[in-house]
Amino acid sequence: MLIALTAVTGIVDAVAFLGLGQVFTAFMTGNTLFLGFAVAGGVGLTPLGSLTALAGFAAGAVAGSRLGAVTAARLRWWLLTSAAIAPTLLVAAALAAIGLDSVRGDLEPRHYAVIALTALAMGVRSATMRRLGAGLNTTLVTGTLVTLVRHSELGGGTPDTSQPYRAAALVAVFAGAAVGTLLLRAGLTVALLVAAGVLGGIGGYVAHPASGRAHNA
């Protein structure tokens, strides 16, 4: 499940970077760097797009965290709600992107709407995964890579049972980015709908009564 979520991250940010003006809507490190580049006079950047993504992601993280806190005693209701929010936001972004071309110059107002909705979805999803206690960070490649090396014999550590999943997560980001790039040939809407479908399927599985999380509720 976590590997699939990591792949979705790759798809979403391929769409954002290649189709929405070189911004990221899941990996916030990139937006922070882009803003620093822009402040120092870097050219070819879209600082307002990066700010929009950062604000949307932060708002989504706040909403996801608050929802988890408010529904702490009703785990199943929280799982069902959280499972629906992020895919719904991605579908909304896909609808907003109908007929919208990938950015080749200045961003249009609808580009900003798609950025905001996508980043909001990723913020909610990230907050949800944190609250679930996911042992694998689905939006932090650098930390995953460092942990993979630290727990390896080459890094002087002792391999544990999570090593294969960490390696698979790195491959999943790569694969998701490649898939997202290919999907983008069919348009922003198609790529975002595929990401929403995968995210919704995973969320539905987690919230299903037969899953461990839902059963514990």
For residues 18 and 15, give the distance between their C-alpha atoms in angstroms, rounded to a whole number: 6
Report yes or no on 100 lying in a domain: yes
Greater confidence (119 vs 216) lies with 119
Residue 3 near residue 168 (C-beta atoms within 8 A):
yes
Report yes or no on 159 lying in a domain: yes
Report yes or no on 13 lying in a domain: yes
Report yes or no on 168 lying in a domain: yes
Work out the percent of the chain whose per-residue pLDDT is above 70: 79
Residue 13 near residue 180 (C-beta atoms within 8 A):
yes
Report yes or no on 175 lying in a domain: yes
What's CA 52's distance to the chain center, in Å?
A: 15
Report yes or no on 120 lying in a domain: yes
Could you read off the pLDDT of 136-182 as tens digits, one per residue? 555 566 556 656 666 666 666 676 666 777 788 888 888 999 999 99
What's CA 116's distance to the chain center, in Å?
A: 13
For residues 26 and 36, give the distance between their C-alpha atoms in angstroms, rounded to a whole number: 18
Q: How many Cβ atoms sit within 10 Å of the Cβ of residue 153? A: 8
pLDDT at position 216 is: 47
What's CA 194's distance to the chain center, in Å?
A: 13
Q: Confidence class of residue 214 from pLDDT cuts 50, 70 and 90?
A: very low
Domain assignment of residue 203, given as a range: 2-38+48-216
pLDDT at position 207 is: 64
Q: Confidence class of residue 102 from pLDDT cuts 50, 70 and 90?
A: confident
pLDDT at position 55 is: 94
Mean pLDDT estimate for the chain:
82
| Count of the separate structural domains present in the chain | 1
Report yes or no on 163 lying in a domain: yes
Report yes or no on 43 lying in a domain: no
Torsion of the alpha carbons at 106, 29, 41 and 112, rounded to the nearest 10 = 20
Q: How many Cβ atoms sit within 10 Å of the Cβ of residue 20? A: 28
Burial of 11 (0-12, 13-18, 19+ CB in 10 A): buried
